[in-house]
């Protein structure tokens, strides 16, 4: 009982102990499962004006955009493009929601009608847009989903169509919003009168300029404290994002002189016949060399990194550095090894003939199902297409006047249909090989059928010009690349440098080994390009990882070998350091200090005395206006011109700090703008200027004012 009484007396104390224990348990579990704390940031790429953009939705859009862009854009470029689209959409939707503007069904119908008005698939017999055809097309797409339908020969899924409608609606909403803003902007008559006054009021002035350049920079000291004070005074100008500084040494996997000599020697071995023991036949055989072989295609294809090309070429088609050497060979002679565009090559002149350098033809293309560029409506088989071509050729052989009609009726080559199937003068080797051979090896007037990857062509040669020498060249090419021994050495060098630099001095170690150290400063978290080595997102990600410490060294693989990278500095988001801001701050601070030095030494109170004291002259500026604040011989000086309009005729100013020096001025004449009966034309100028600003700057202003939380780095999507 005594124990129970003590427990009852201390019940509040025990409850607090238990509560604290439970709270500690919960906290421990959260920290052990940090994903629970970071769940939102890991799944939300951005929050814009309260709207979340999820990781899944963002990456899905990136994937679609990457497919459209193809290999022309990097993954980071595509992500940044999608990011800008998403930010714009979210920022603008905030405005649409606030105003309650939407795209209703009737307006959507009008948008589609406008967009599809000229599409032949949705036009009736009278040439007018048929909404029923469009509705039928959309219904069919929905029924086929997820399989695509076709529009203009191009595949299109129902989801693609929905996205297209959304894009149309988004563009229309944006246009409506901008129009609403523009409609609210006017130039009033009062603003027009002010504009007229700013343009028409004129002053003639006399002035003395004491240029800042008259005081040598070396005589004006700028301390770190001066720069710090200037940064704090102009914080917006010096605001920066988080960044990293690195330096790196590159280890390129490049062929050495020994590697190149080995490649040339291997080519030389191929030139002559050689004896080789045939294990299967138990006898020694003579293997033909490049000089003696008759089967050039097989020989080249078996021994070259570039396949045999049987086309004839003119001298101008050969590399300029060796064109004379090859073009002047006799048939069967060999030239090389020679270096060309990253390869060592040996070339043999195989044949020579006279060929026109250009031709003029007309043709009819009959495609078949499966031929290249055949549209879905092509249903003829290859045999049927050949029969059609044969039939047309029979008619044309007796009546060539029908060629133009046949082109319009049967040819699928839209690039030539409007020109009667004609390809005007074009050089040799312009067309696909079979087409090219017919038009350049035949005679003017020849008419025949040629099969290519596009189908069956009925071709008539209408003209040939400038027959000249062409050559067929067999070339064995070997890519100039490092040997395995060289690649292994580069890897060892890079690895050893990484290991040694981690415990030593990066720069000293590079100097000892004659390596070049390349510094890269100011890398941002979403950058991808490192100057000198291109797209290197892994390096950027590593530099921003929390675990990476200043001084850490890491080796990375590049497209040309390796780089050893050292993290030199981490800069937090905020204001630039004194060193970073110096380039901008020092000239501005010097100008302020020079202005004070000038003002402190001047005692003159009129222009003539000031000019005499400063060993300069009194200058004049005539008909100066507020809209063109330029002083002859002194440059653009808006502050000085503004001050002039604040003086009375004959009044002399005190010293005024301008953009290019310190000034004293006197207004000699004031000419007011002529009064008008109506200022509407000037009001129109004001309105046009406001509208132009809306077009160019409205979105930027909305974006700057938006609450944008960018979590791309935290979600590790790049």
Domain closes at, from 572, 598, 622? 572
Closest CA to 238 of 528, 530, 543, 586: 586
Average pLDDT, the chain: 89
Give the integer Cα–Cα distance in Å for 132 and 121.
11
Whether residue 383 is found in the same domain as residue 532: no
Task: Please give the distance of CA 377 from its chain centroid, rounded to a whole number.
Answer: 37
> How is residue 37 written in tokens?
């704390």
CATH number at residue 360: 3.10.50.40
Phi and psi (nearest 5°) for 441?
A: -100, -15
Whether residue 115 is found in the same domain as residue 175: yes
The angle formed by the CA atoms of residues 227, 229 and 234, to the nearest 5 degrees, is: 95
Whether residue 338 is found in the same domain as residue 360: yes
Q: What is the pLDDT of residue 718?
A: 57
Q: What is the pLDDT of residue 149?
A: 83
Token pair 């290519």 is found at 452
Q: What is the mean pLDDT of residues 344-368?
A: 95
Q: Identify whether the C-beta of residue 482 lies closer than 8 Å to the C-beta of residue 256.
A: yes
Token pair 């589609």 is found at 112
Whether residue 332 is found in the same domain as residue 441: yes
Element (H, E) at 351: strand 343-366
Residue 474: CB atoms within 10 A of its CB come to 21
Domain closes at, from 519, 545, 572? 572
| Residue at 51 is within a domain | no
Q: What is the mean pLDDT of residues 30-54?
A: 66
Domain closes at, from 433, 462, 479? 479
> How is residue 473 written in tokens?
């060249």
Whether residue 385 is found in the same domain as residue 348: yes
| Residue at 54 is within a domain | no
| pLDDT above 50 for 438 | yes
Question: For 148-182, what is each residue's pLDDT tens digit?
Answer: 888 877 788 888 888 888 889 989 999 999 999 99
| Residue at 464 is within a domain | yes
The structural domain count of the chain equals 6
Whether residue 549 is found in the same domain as residue 626: no
Whether residue 396 is found in the same domain as residue 435: yes
Give the pLDDT band of residue 23 (cuts 50, 70, 90): very low
Whether residue 450 is found in the same domain as residue 369: yes
| pLDDT above 90 for 117 | no
Q: What is the mean pLDDT of residues 582-591?
A: 95
Give the pLDDT band of residue 717 (cuts 50, 70, 90): low
| Residue at 427 is within a domain | yes
Percentage above 90 pLDDT, the chain: 65
| DSSP sequence for 363-420 | EEEE--TTSTT--TT----HHHHHHHHHHHHHHHHH-GGGHHHHHHHH---HHHHTTT
| pLDDT above 80 for 20 | no
Give CA torsion, residues 698, 701, 702, 705, to 10 deg.
Answer: -170
Whether residue 247 is found in the same domain as residue 380: no
| pLDDT above 80 for 33 | no
Give the integer Cα–Cα distance in Å for 217 and 557.
47
Percentage above 70 pLDDT, the chain: 93
| Residue at 49 is within a domain | no
Whether residue 325 is found in the same domain as residue 394: yes
Give the pLDDT band of residue 41 (cuts 50, 70, 90): low
| pLDDT above 80 for 312 | yes
> How is residue 478 written in tokens?
């070997």
Whether residue 142 is found in the same domain as residue 230: no
Q: How many residues does the chain have?
A: 718
Strands 553-558, 517-524: pairing is: unpaired
Closest CA to 488 of 561, 559, 554, 563: 561
Note down the domain range covering 27.
Answer: 2-37
Give the integer Cα–Cα distance in Å for 147 and 134.
18
Question: For 473-487, what is each residue's pLDDT tens digit?
Answer: 999 999 999 999 999
Element (H, E) at 710: strand 708-710
The pTM of the whole model exceeds 0.85: no
CATH number at residue 217: 3.10.50
> How is residue 577 written in tokens?
């350091």
Q: Identify whether the C-beta of residue 473 lies closer than 8 Å to the C-beta of residue 287.
A: no
Whether residue 160 is found in the same domain as residue 234: no
| Residue at 282 is within a domain | no
Residue 624: CB atoms within 10 A of its CB come to 21
Give the integer Cα–Cα distance in Å for 454 and 356.
24
> In 565-631, where does DSSP find H-type helix?
578-601, 607-613
Strands 529-530, 534-535: pairing is: antiparallel
Provide the 8-state DSSP code for 632: T
> How is residue 409 written in tokens?
């009726």
Give the integer Cα–Cα distance in Å for 335 and 347.
5
| pLDDT above 60 for 90 | yes
């Amino acid at each position: 009982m005594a124990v129970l009484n003590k427990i009852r007396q201390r019940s509040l104390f025990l409850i607090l102990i238990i509560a604290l224990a439970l709270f500690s348990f919960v906290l421990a579990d959260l920290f052990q499962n940090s994903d629970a704390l970071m769940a939102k940031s890991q799944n939300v790429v951005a929050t814009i004006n309260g709207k979340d953009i999820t990781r899944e939705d963002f990456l899905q859009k990136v994937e679609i955009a990457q497919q459209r862009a193809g290999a022309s854009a990097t993954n980071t470029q595509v992500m940044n493009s999608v990011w800008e689209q998403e930010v714009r959409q979210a920022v603008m939707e905030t405005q649409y929601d606030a105003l309650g503007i939407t795209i209703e069904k009737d307006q959507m119908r009008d948008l589609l009608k406008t967009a599809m008005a000229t599409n032949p698939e949705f036009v009736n017999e009278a040439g007018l847009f048929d909404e029923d055809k469009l509705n039928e097309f959309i219904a069919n797409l929905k029924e086929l989903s997820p399989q695509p339908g076709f529009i203009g020969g191009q595949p299109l899924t129902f989801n693609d169509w929905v996205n297209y409608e959304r894009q149309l609606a988004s563009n229309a909403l944006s246009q409506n919003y901008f129009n609403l803003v523009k409609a609210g902007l006017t130039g009033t008559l009062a603003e027009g009168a002010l504009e007229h006054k700013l343009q028409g009021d004129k002053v003639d002035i006399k002035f003395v300029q004491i240029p800042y350049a008259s005081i040598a920079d070396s005589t004006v000291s700028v301390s770190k404290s001066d720069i710090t004070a200037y940064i704090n005074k102009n914080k917006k100008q010096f605001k920066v994002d988080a960044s990293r500084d690195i330096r790196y040494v590159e280890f390129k996997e490049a062929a050495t002189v020994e590697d190149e000599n080995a490649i040339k020697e291997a080519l030389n071995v191929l030139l002559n016949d050689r004896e080789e023991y045939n294990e299967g036949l138990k006898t020694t055989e003579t293997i033909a060399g490049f000089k003696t072989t008759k089967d050039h295609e097989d020989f080249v294809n078996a021994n070259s990194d570039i396949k045999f090309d049987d086309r004839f070429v003119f001298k101008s088609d050969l590399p300029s550095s060796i064109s004379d050497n090859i073009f002047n060979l006799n048939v069967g002679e060999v030239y090389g090894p020679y270096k060309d565009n990253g390869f060592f090559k040996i070339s043999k002149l195989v044949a020579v003939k006279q060929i026109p350098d250009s031709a003029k033809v007309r043709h009819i293309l009959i495609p078949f199902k499966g031929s290249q560029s055949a549209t879905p409506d092509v249903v003829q088989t290859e045999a049927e297409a050949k029969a059609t071509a044969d039939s047309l050729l029979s008619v044309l052989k007796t009546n060539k006047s029908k060629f133009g009609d046949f082109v319009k009726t049967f040819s699928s080559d839209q690039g030539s249909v409007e020109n009667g199937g004609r390809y005007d003068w074009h050089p040799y080797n312009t067309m696909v090989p079979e087409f090219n051979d017919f038009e350049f090896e035949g005679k003017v007037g020849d008419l025949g059928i040629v099969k290519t990857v596009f189908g069956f062509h009925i071709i008539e040669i209408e003209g040939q010009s400038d027959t000249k020498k062409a050559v067929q060249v067999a070339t064995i090419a070997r890519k100039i690349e490092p040997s395995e021994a060289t690649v292994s050495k580069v890897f060892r060098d890079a690895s050893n440098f990484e290991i040694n630099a981690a415990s030593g001095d990066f720069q000293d170690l590079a100097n000892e080994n004659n390596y070049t150290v390349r510094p890269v400063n100011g890398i941002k978290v979403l950058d991808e390009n490192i100057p000198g080595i291109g797209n290197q997102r892994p390096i950027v990600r590593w530099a921003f990882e929390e675990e990476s410490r200043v001084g850490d060294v890491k080796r990375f693989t590049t497209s040309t070998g390796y780089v050893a990278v050292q993290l030199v500095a981490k800069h937090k988001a905020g204001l630039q350091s004194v060193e970073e801001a110096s380039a901008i701050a020092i000239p501005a601070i010097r100008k302020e200090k020079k202005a004070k030095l000038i003002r402190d030494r001047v005692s003159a109170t009129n222009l003539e005395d000031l000019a005499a004291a400063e060993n300069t002259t009194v200058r004049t500026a005539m008909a100066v206006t507020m809209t063109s604040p330029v002083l002859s011989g002194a440059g653009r000086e808006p502050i000085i011109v503004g001050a002039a309009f604040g003086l009375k005729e004959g009044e002399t100013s005190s010293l005024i700090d301008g953009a290019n020096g310190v000034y004293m001025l006197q207004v000699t004449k004031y000419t007011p703008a002529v009064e008008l009966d109506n200022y509407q034309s000037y009001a129109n100028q004001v309105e046009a200027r406001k509208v132009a600003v809306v077009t160019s700057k409205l979105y930027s202003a909305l974006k700057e004012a938006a609450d944008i939380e960018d979590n791309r780095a935290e979600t590790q999507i790049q």
